Amino acid sequence: MADAVEQRPGATVVPDPGSEPHDSSRTHVTGRSEYVDDRPMLPGELFCGLVYSPFARARVKSLDLDRALAVPGVICAVTAKDVAHNLWGSIFVDQPLLAEKEVHYAGEVVAVLGAESRDALAKGLAAVQVAWEKLPAIRTIDQAVAAGAFIGSERSIARGDASAALAAAPHRLSGTVVIEGADHFYLESQAAVAYPRHDGPMEVHSSTQHPTETQHVVAEALGVPFADVVCIARRLGGGFGGKESQAAPIAAYAALVARKSGRPARLAISKDEDMIITGKRNPFQIRYQVGFDGEGRLLALQAQLHSDGGAYADLSTAIMERALLHCDNAYFIPNVQVQGRVCRTNHHPHTAFRGFGGPKGVAMIESILEDVARTLGKDALDVRRLNVYAPGRDVTHYGQQVENNCLPELFDALETRCEYRRRRADIERWNVHPANNPRGLSMTAVKFGISFTTRHLNQANALVNVHRDGTVQVSTGAVEMGQGVNARIAAIVAERLGVPTVAVRLMVTSTEKNANTSPTAASSGTDLNGAAAAAACDRIRARLAGLAVQLRDIPGDQWPSRVGGLGTHAELRVGDTAPAEPVTFADGRVTVGGFSLAFAELAREAYFSRISLCDYGHFATPHLGFDKVKGQGRAFLYYTQGVAASEVEVDRFTGEVKVRRVDMLMDMGRPVNHALDVGQVTGAFVQGMGWVTTEHLFYDADGLLVSHSPSTYKIPSVQDTPRVFNAELVFNPGNTVNVRGTKAAGEPPLLLSLSVWTAIRDAVMSVRGRRTGHAELVPMAIPATAERVLRALEPEAFATVEAS
């Protein structure tokens, strides 16, 4: 690892070598990309609609569907009585597909209608009569804690003696970090089309990140074997975790209507319905105590994390585990005790969201470091640099060594590149003048572990078919949702076989070709599926290499394609082991010694020699060993690392935040596709920026989401992007454990958006400190909305107004 570090002086920036475009780029910009609801309607196909609860918790006193079924064009209705197995869940099987006697969140579905037209469906839904009896509901984390309403058991990760170290620490701070939820706001809402085939199986096209789970949930709902359901996911119009688990019931509803009617059935819910029904990023409430010395070096941390899991488990316990694992982020803390508990509330079941639980733990420690610095009168960057993982201080609180650590170099490089010290001095001078809108500057880091923390999910399989013209088809369990996983896998396969990328086509993801696959999630889509495809390519390549060695010594007129049909010559045979003699696959040619032939020509000769040009590869992530009970072990294959510096300006009259400048450095190892990685880095940052500033969820008194459209829920627009936005990738050849030496780009950059939140706090605390004459620590919930920022700037004014 030391050699790898020495190869990165100053965190060398990677120039774009000329990346291949996204495989769907042309069809996207021309409007020809097909999504689930773009599929042509078949004769007799039905439109589906949902009947759901408007209350957080209620008893279903009666459900009358007769008037709806009397509407011309309404063909059928499905209720809990039509479901063969009515419970599902990714971790705990606890959630009804269709509620029957009681609902536990606003948006919980009690019935599904199937109709021949959208107009008939709307009239049918309006005719459904449900008598509800409202029941007391748990709406907050504090209410759940008081009621003892939890999902799963308490989780704990510890190192050293945090209590003793806290008691002995020269300085201590305590506080609470409140983190609210956020909607995924993918452009394509949840959608599925189910086709009952004449020979029995159900074919389901779903906007899902997890075709295998969708297949299984549909099969269980129908009461048929898994093999009688095929789930196909061509592409998604965004997912961000929101379609990892929660796409499955949508597909099941369509399949249930298709089975009952014997006709194709389509369910594509509106954006409003999608936001009302589906779960969000888990809200968290974190209470902590931290001990530190006079220099700002962290000595001990105790934290209690509570999350809002919603009405059912979904993935919330795994999300909590990830939050506990990321409480250290990029910093060494010798004594740690972090505990987490998932609360059961009457909200939609919250679910995976880009970063999973990682952003919650990172928000806590980055906020703590800001407060430690302000308490001691130091620059927060100096405190971070003092605590960052470094040689001799490079083992996490769960016992994993931080290998290939380039965090110190990243901090140092970005400090220079973004002119941090000059700008800090400029901001301090600017903030002295009361008439100026206050500005803030903060640099935060990310150390994001890459792997599923549930061991069996770290596997993938791939089918690679080489055709006689040298072109290649690849089928994997990866789902393309805009992130470019298909383009990355194509590049890996092309490099392995030495053919141009345009010769490689990624096929539609389908459970009949790739079974028992994991979700495209945890930033592992390319890692897992790319490695599986590479394994298949290596076996094909070994056979072709052996054939090339033999062909070199055979006259061209006696090659298999010339004589195979006559049967005059013995067949050439090869094994699955590559020959000892070096064989090169590059630029569409295969070369051994001074002999060279086109890859397509070699593929043709293999076919005439009855040598397999197809193979199936399976990959299981090595080196993992995390004990969930003890909270110790190697949880991740490697870490993606990065740093970002954000500068903000706060309008002192409105609280509106403008992000003036962002500088980012991300360690992507050896990028498979530079342009796509930059797109992921910048896109993740802006998405996270929305989460920490403007994306605020509002619920009415009955627990129904009110902010369920773009008019009431503000995601970032082009006007919100940083005025200056510098995002660069650094070259890190030291990551040798992953396929092709690359690193995951999907989730880690989102966590760097917390630098915007800490910069807002920096601006607010600068103003408050100037007014009060001492260091004032100002808590700020996420999202830091304009109202919250203004209240933090002018608490006295708000107190006066509210008192009057």
Catalytic residue ranges? 747
> Running DSSP on this structure, what letter comes out for residue 782?
B
CB–CB of 51/132 below 8 Å?
A: no
CB–CB of 788/781 below 8 Å?
A: yes
Tokens of 520: 């495209």
Strand, helix or coil at 9?
coil
How far from the centroid of its chain's Cα atoms is residue 674's Cα?
19
Q: Which value, to the nearest 10 degrees, does the dihedral of the CA atoms of residues 407, 411, 417, 419 take?
A: 170
Q: Residue 405's CB: how many other CB atoms inside 10 A?
A: 24
Q: Residue 184's CB: how many other CB atoms inside 10 A?
A: 22
Cis peptide before 438 (omega within 30 of 0): no
* CA dist., res. 409 & res. 424, Å (int): 20
* CA dist., res. 658 & res. 716, Å (int): 11
Best CA proximity match to 181, nearest among 335, 316, 289:
316
Q: Residue 773's CB: how many other CB atoms inside 10 A?
A: 7
Q: What are the backbone angles phi and psi of residue 490, rounded to the nearest 5°?
A: -60, -40
* CA dist., res. 105 & res. 115, Å (int): 26
CB–CB of 337/324 below 8 Å?
A: no
Q: Residue 132's CB: how many other CB atoms inside 10 A?
A: 18
* CA dist., res. 147 & res. 144, Å (int): 5
* CA dist., res. 738 & res. 453, Å (int): 17
* CA dist., res. 563 & res. 220, Å (int): 54
DSSP states of 726-794 as a string?
EEEEE--TT--SSGGGB---SSHHHHTTHHHHHHHHHHHHHHHHHHHSS------PBS--HHHHHHHH-
- Name the residue type at position 760: I
Q: What's the start-to-end Cα distance of the chain, in Å? A: 64
Distances (CA, A) of 262 to 167, 194, 210: 69, 10, 26
* CA dist., res. 745 & res. 640, Å (int): 8
What secondary structure, in 3-state letters, does 646-657 show? Answer: EEEEECCCCCCE
Distances (CA, A) of 715 to 324, 496, 698: 28, 40, 14
Best CA proximity match to 683, nearest among 343, 323, 354:
354
DSSP states of 169-215 as a string?
-SEEEEEEEEE-------SSPSEEEEEE-TTS-EEEEE--S-HHHHH
CB–CB of 778/795 below 8 Å?
A: no
Best CA proximity match to 585, nearest among 546, 556, 611, 529:
546
* CA dist., res. 772 & res. 567, Å (int): 96
CB–CB of 461/618 below 8 Å?
A: yes
* CA dist., res. 386 & res. 277, Å (int): 45
